[in-house]
C-alpha cells in the first residue's frame, strides 16, 4: 500500500511538472526560438563535462568504501555510481541507491547500516559544501549586483549550520535493546566513525568541491549554448540551488524538480523561465543520453556478479 502511494505521488508530481512546462511552452513559443542555434560543438563540450562529473561522483563512493575496507574495482565504484543514476530514472525516491545497497550487501557482505552511514556522509558533506558555496554566492551577488533572495539565503544558512554541526559536533550514540532504535543508532554510529576521520572528510570535501565546479560549468555551457548572458557567479548560484534537488527525489531522476529549481534560481537575475527551461532541457537530454549509453554496459557486468554473489575479476 505504501509503495503504491509513493508511485502514485511520484507520477502525480511528474505530471504536474510536465503540464506546467507544456503550458508555458504553448503560451510562450518565442522563448524557445533559440533552440535553432544549438551547435554540435556545444553538445560535445557539455557531454564531456557531464561524463567527467560521473567519474567524480564515483570517486566519492570509492574513497568511502576504501576507508571502510571494501576495495572496489573500477567497474564497481564507477559502475555502481552510474548504474544508480540509470535506475533513479526508472524508479522514484532514489531507487538506484537501494539497488546499490543490495549489490554491496550480497557481493561484499557490506551491512545495510554501514551503507546508510555512507549515504549520510554523502548528504552531510555535499550539503555543507554547497550551502557554503551558496552563502558565498549570496554575499558576492549582493555586493556586485545589489540582488538578494532572502528565503534562499536563509535556507543556505540553516543548512550550513545544521550540516556543520552534524560533522563537527556529534554526541555519543548509545546502545539500546529496542530493535528499531538500535537500527537507527547503528547507522548513526557508522556515520560517526566516518566523521571522526579528518583526512577522509577532507578528501570527500575536495571531491564535492570539484563536483560543484563541474556543475557550474554545466550550467554556464548550457546557457552559452543559447547565447544567454550569465556570469560565472550567477551560474554558480543557480547550480548550487539545483544541487539540492536531492532533497526532492520524488520523481524518477528528479524530472521536473531540477528544472523547476533552475527556473527559480535563474529568475533571480531576470532570466526568463523559457530560457532556463532551454538550458535545463539541454542538460537533461545530454545527461540521459550519456547515462543510458554507458550504464547498461556496467549494469550487465554488475548483475552477473550479483547473481554469482561475488566480485568477479576483471
Q: How many residues in the chain?
A: 314
Nearest-CA neighbor of 129 among 233, 53, 236, 220? 236
Nearest-CA neighbor of 128 among 211, 36, 33? 211
Question: Is residue 25 situated within a structural domain?
Answer: no
Question: Is residue 267 situated within a structural domain?
Answer: yes
- Dump the DSSP string for 68-84: TT----HHHHHHHHHHH
| Helices (H) then strands (E): counts for the chain | 11, 0
- Dump the DSSP string for 186-236: HHHHHHHHHHT-HHHHHHHHHHHHHHHHHHHHHHHHHHHTTT----HHHHH
Q: How confident is the model at residue 192 (pLDDT cuts 50, 70, 90)?
A: confident
Cell of 163: 550540516
Q: How confident is the model at residue 49 (pLDDT cuts 50, 70, 90)?
A: very high
Residue 313 is predicted with a pLDDT of 41
What does pTM read for this prediction? 0.82
Question: Is residue 108 situated within a structural domain?
Answer: yes
Query: Are the C-beta atoms of residues 134 and 152 closer than 8 Å to each other?
Result: yes
Residue with cell 554507458: 294
pLDDT tens digit sequence for 287-310: 888 988 998 889 888 887 777 766
Question: Is residue 184 situated within a structural domain?
Answer: yes
Question: Is residue 12 situated within a structural domain?
Answer: no
| Percentage of the chain lying above the pLDDT 70 cut | 80
Residue 312 is predicted with a pLDDT of 46
Give the chain's domain count: 1
**Which position has the higher pLDDT, 145 or 77?**
77
Question: Is residue 9 situated within a structural domain?
Answer: no
Q: How confident is the model at residue 6 (pLDDT cuts 50, 70, 90)?
A: low
Q: CA–CA separation, 242 vs 232, rounded Å?
A: 15
Question: Is residue 162 situated within a structural domain?
Answer: yes
Ramachandran class of 249: left when φ > 0, alpha when ψ lies in -120 to 50, beta otherwise: beta
Range of the domain at 215: 49-308
Q: How many alpha carbons fall within 13 Å on the CB side of residue 31?
A: 17
Which runs of E-coded beta strand occur in the chain?
none
CA-based R_g, the chain, Å: 20
Query: Are the C-beta atoms of residues 81 and 88 closer than 8 Å to each other?
Result: no
* C-beta neighbour count of 156 within 10 angstroms: 25
CA 140 to chain centre: 24
Residue with cell 555551457: 221
Q: CA–CA separation, 122 vs 107, rounded Å?
A: 22
Q: How confident is the model at residue 15 (pLDDT cuts 50, 70, 90)?
A: low
Q: How many alpha carbons fall within 13 Å on the CB side of residue 22?
A: 6
Q: CA–CA separation, 258 vs 284, rounded Å?
A: 9
Largest CA distance in the chain: 64
Question: Is residue 212 situated within a structural domain?
Answer: yes
Amino acid at each position: 500500500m505504501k509503495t503504491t502511494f509513493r508511485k502514485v505521488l511520484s507520477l502525480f508530481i511528474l505530471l504536474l511538472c510536465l503540464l506546467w512546462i507544456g503550458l508555458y511552452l504553448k503560451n510562450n513559443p518565442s522563448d524557445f526560438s533559440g533552440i535553432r542555434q544549438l551547435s554540435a560543438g556545444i553538445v560535445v563540450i557539455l557531454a564531456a563535462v557531464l561524463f567527467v562529473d560521473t567519474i567524480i561522483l564515483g570517486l566519492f563512493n570509492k574513497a568511502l568504501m576504501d576507508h571502510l575496507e571494501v576495495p572496489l574495482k573500477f567497474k564497481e565504484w564507477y559502475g555502481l555510481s552510474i548504474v544508480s543514476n540509470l535506475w533513479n530514472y526508472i524508479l522514484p525516491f532514489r531507487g538506484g541507491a537501494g539497488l546499490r545497497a543490495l549489490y554491496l550487501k550480497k557481493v561484499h557482505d557490506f551491512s545495510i547500516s554501514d551503507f546508510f552511514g555512507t549515504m549520510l556522509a554523502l548528504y552531510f558533506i555535499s550539503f555543507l559544501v554547497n550551502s557554503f558555496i551558496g552563502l558565498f554566492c549570496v554575499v558576492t551577488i549582493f555586493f556586485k549586483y545589489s540582488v538578494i533572495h532572502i528565503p534562499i539565503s536563509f535556507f543556505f544558512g540553516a543548512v550550513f549550520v545544521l550540516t556543520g554541526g552534524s560533522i563537527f559536533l556529534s554526541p555519543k550514540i548509545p546502545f539500546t535493546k529496542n530493535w528499531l532504535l538500535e537500527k537507527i543508532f547503528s547507522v548513526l554510529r557508522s556515520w560517526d566513525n566516518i566523521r571522526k576521520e579528518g583526512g577522509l572528510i577532507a578528501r570527500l570535501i575536495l571531491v564535492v568541491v570539484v563536483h560543484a565546479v563541474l556543475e557550474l560549468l554545466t550550467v554556464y555551457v548550457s546557457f552559452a549554448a543559447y547565447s544567454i548572458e550569465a556570469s560565472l557567479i550567477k551560474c554558480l548560484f543557480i547550480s548550487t540551488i539545483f544541487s539540492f534537488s536531492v532533497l526532492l527525489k520524488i520523481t524518477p531522476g528528479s524530472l521536473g524538480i531540477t528544472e523547476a529549481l533552475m527556473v527559480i534560481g535563474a529568475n533571480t537575475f531576470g532570466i526568463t523561465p523559457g530560457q532556463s527551461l532551454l538550458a535545463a532541457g539541454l542538460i537533461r537530454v545530454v545527461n540521459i543520453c550519456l547515462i543510458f549509453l554507458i550504464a547498461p554496459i556496467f549494469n550487465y557486468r554488475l548483475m552477473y556478479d550479483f547473481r554469482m554473489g561475488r566480485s568477479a575479476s576483471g
